[in-house]
Amino acid sequence: MRVLLQRVKEAQVTVEQTVVGSIQHGSLLLVGFTKGDTSKDVDYLADKVVHLRIFEDESGKMNRSLIDVGGAILSVSQFTLYGDCRKGRRPNFMAAMEPGQAQQLYEQFNEKLRSYGIKVETGIFGAMMDVHLVNDGPVTLLLESK
């Protein structure tokens, strides 16, 4: 499982020109699953995301978590995180999890995030989405469960 996390001042996702998810201060998560991922991967990365100290304290140091600052999450499914570009000129997505299984884990991941008391907005799994964000910092981190 991979999560590309971006600390944001604001973010929204639209589908067919309709806003389906929107947050202010918090984290935008692009979330991808690979074959073999399980609930353990979901639990590990959900805990990591909400407790990772990437928000500034009074001294300007990244010392506060999403929970500490009362931030929100915009979670967007992103199978292309498992695109392999080592050969040829077209990405190979063979490592990405089958959509049915991935959707179940994606929904489980979002529910796990909500269980921490975090506001979680989402895109629509499998839809063509436009993601708009104002990256704060910029701070962008790649998290992996393996």
Active-site positions? Answer: 78-80
* Residues 7/49, Cβ–Cβ less than 8 Å: no
The DSSP element (H or E) to which 131 belongs, if any, is strand 130-144
β-partners of residue 3 are 31, 143
Distance of CA 90 to the CA centre of its chain: 24
Residue 68 makes CB contacts below 8 A (sequence gap 6+) with 53, 55
